């Protein structure tokens, strides 16, 4: 299960709740809170954005426990990976139960973006400012801000399987150049052989889960979709805005399945998605990055809407395909994505990478 936790350095749960209630005044008029987690994780949060872990294990994660626990219950075993650029660290942790037996967890700690209305407090409030360097007109300080200005977002995967742990472990990444023949002979059989669970997607489409989070819906079964905030976005600021459009049609797995038949659907997602976001959040379409992933993390067609200034995971050129370009390509040639080769990254430990390796399509040292 996934937990979303906001950690306030040096504050207890009561203090954290009070700070959360006060934050986000500038954005609150346009950003609707969607059940942010408190300082204590209490049972499963909405089952969405499961693509990352279910891509690896096909839904074989053990069922979570309803028992509440705090982050202090977890013992850090090792650092799996860290990113200085993204200000994120991935930890392998363990929780010891009453029986004395340990259960694995993955903890992702991420520094949250600055909130504009709080920036003046960074300089006004008393804090420990340590001068590191002074040279002519340049100075460098290390600041120790008060708790309400040093928020960290923690995402907890608990219980975590070995596949979860391997997923977050630092791995080599390779670029794959997939022809249409490669897709038919390697990728598609691999997808069909897996038991990837996307029930959480159907739960949203059928309003069995997260119905209160829906920003927009076109209910047409052929050309409609549901637009919901991605769980990567805490909805406290617009700088890292992130929403996902899930189409109602269930037979479309990825970019490879799209033809000119799907142009009405794709145009609806593009146009209605932009209209819904500017209406709800005040962000115009010219400041949105709207794209599909290939390979996708889960095989139900979905479209990403992110703030243009946000360097979102997976938005790099080797994986992201702008929806407007996809529409133009299909309008030019209905079979465009059944003809052209597509490039995408795969980690060295991914089963699909091994399939390409076995087929002699990729070579690594020692292979």
Is 15 in contact with 198 (CB distance < 8 Å)?
Answer: no
Q: What is the pLDDT of residue 151?
A: 82
**Mean pLDDT calculated for residue range 189-196:** 86
- Pair of tokens at residue 212: 């209160």
Q: What is the pLDDT of residue 4?
A: 46
Q: What values do phi and psi take at 37, rounded to 5?
A: -75, 155
Q: How confident is residue 68, by pLDDT bands cut at 50, 70 and 90?
A: low
Rounded Cα distance between 94 and 76, Å, is 6
* Least-confidence region, from 184-198, 245-259, 311-325: 184-198
**Mean pLDDT calculated for residue range 62-75:** 64
Rounded Cα distance between 292 and 188, Å, is 18
Task: Please list, residue by residue across 111-124, b when 16 or more beta carbons sit within 10 angstroms of its beta carbon and e when fewer do.
Answer: ebbebeebeeeeee
Residue 31: is its pLDDT beyond 90? no
Rounded Cα distance between 205 and 343, Å, is 30
Cα–Cα distances (Å) from 26 to 29, 115, 294, 322, in that order, read: 7, 9, 36, 30
Rounded Cα distance between 125 and 238, Å, is 25
Tokens 């979102």 locate to: 312
Q: What is the pLDDT of residue 366?
A: 57
What proportion of the chain, given as a percentage, has pLDDT over 90? 49
**Mean pLDDT calculated for residue range 12-35:** 39
Calculate ∠ Cα 214-218-220, nearest 5°.
135
Helix axes 263-281, 323-332, angle to 10 degrees: 160
Rounded Cα distance between 20 and 6, Å, is 9
Domains of the chain (ranges plus CATH)? 2-120 (no CATH), 171-358 (3.30.428.10)
**Mean pLDDT calculated for residue range 136-157:** 83
pTM, two decimal places: 0.65
Residue 262 appears among annotated catalytic residues: no
- Kindly tell me the sign of the dihedral angle through the C-alpha atoms of 191, 298, 164, 47: negative
Q: What is the pLDDT of residue 229?
A: 96
Rounded Cα distance between 359 and 185, Å, is 9
- Candidate ranges 41-45, 164-168, 179-183; pick with highest mean pLDDT: 179-183
**For residue 119, what are the β-bridge partners?**
none
Closest CA to 315 of 118, 144, 112, 323: 323
Residue 56: is its pLDDT beyond 50? no
Q: From the candidates 164, 302, 304, 321, give the one annotated as an active-site residue.
A: 302
Give the number of other CB atoms < 10 A from CB of residue 30.
15
Tokens 């993955």 locate to: 106
- Candidate ranges 70-79, 84-93, 156-165, 301-310; pick with highest mean pLDDT: 301-310
Give the number of other CB atoms < 10 A from CB of residue 40.
16
Give the number of other CB atoms < 10 A from CB of residue 230.
18
**Entry field: residues in the chain:** 367
Residue 88: is its pLDDT beyond 60? yes
Rounded Cα distance between 50 and 225, Å, is 19
Q: What confidence tens digit (pLDDT) does each residue in 202-212 have?
A: 999 999 999 99
Is 334 in contact with 280 (CB distance < 8 Å)?
Answer: no
Strand blocks (E) in 31-101: 40-41, 69-70, 74-83, 88-96
Q: What values do phi and psi take at 357, rounded to 5?
A: -65, -45
Residue 145, CB half-sphere, CA atoms under 13 Å: how many? 15
Cα–Cα distances (Å) from 80 to 91, 169, 340, in that order, read: 5, 5, 37
Higher pLDDT, 167 or 221: 221
Rounded Cα distance between 114 and 260, Å, is 43
Q: How confident is residue 159, by pLDDT bands cut at 50, 70 and 90?
A: confident
**Three-state DSSP class for residue 221:** coil
């Amino acid at each position: 299960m996934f937990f979303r936790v906001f950690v306030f350095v040096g504050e207890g749960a009561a203090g954290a709740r009070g700070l959360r209630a006060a934050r986000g005044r500038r954005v609150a008029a346009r950003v609707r809170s969607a059940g942010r987690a408190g300082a204590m994780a209490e049972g499963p949060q909405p089952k969405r954005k499961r693509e990352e872990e279910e891509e690896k294990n096909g839904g074989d994660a053990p069922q979570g426990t309803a028992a509440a626990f705090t982050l202090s219950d977890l013992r850090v075993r090792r650092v799996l990976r860290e990113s200085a650029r993204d200000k994120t660290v991935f930890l392998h942790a363990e929780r010891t139960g009453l029986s004395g037996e340990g259960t694995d967890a993955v903890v992702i700690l991420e520094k949250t973006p600055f909130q504009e209305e709080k920036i003046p407090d960074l300089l006004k409030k008393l804090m420990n400012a340590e001068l590191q360097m002074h040279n002519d007109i340049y100075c460098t300080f290390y600041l120790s801000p008060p708790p309400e200005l040093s928020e960290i977002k923690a995402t907890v995967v608990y219980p975590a399987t070995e596949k979860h742990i391997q997923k977050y472990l630092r791995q080599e990444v390779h670029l794959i150049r997939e022809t249409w023949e490669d897709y038919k002979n390697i990728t598609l059989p691999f997808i069909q052989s897996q038991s990837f669970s996307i029930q959480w997607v159907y739960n949203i489409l059928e309003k069995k889960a997260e119905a209160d989070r829906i920003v927009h819906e076109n209910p047409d079964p052929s050309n409609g979709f549901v637009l919901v905030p991605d769980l990567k976005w805490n909805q406290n600021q617009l700088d890292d805005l992130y929403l996902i459009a899930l189409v109602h049609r269930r037979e479309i797995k990825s970019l490879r399945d799209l033809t000119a038949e799907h142009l009405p659907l794709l145009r609806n997602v593009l146009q209605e998605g932009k209209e819904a976001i500017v209406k709800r959040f005040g962000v115009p379409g010219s400041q949105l990055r709207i794209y599909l992933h290939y390979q996708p993390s889960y095989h139900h067609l979905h479209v990403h809407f992110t703030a243009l200034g946000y360097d979102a995971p997976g938005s790099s050129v080797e994986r992201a395909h702008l929806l407007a370009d996809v529409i133009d390509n299909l309008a030019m040639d209905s079979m465009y994505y059944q003809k052209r080769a597509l490039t995408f990254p795969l980690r060295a430990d991914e089963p699909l990478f091994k399939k390409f390796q076995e087929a002699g399509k990729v070579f690594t040292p020692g292979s």
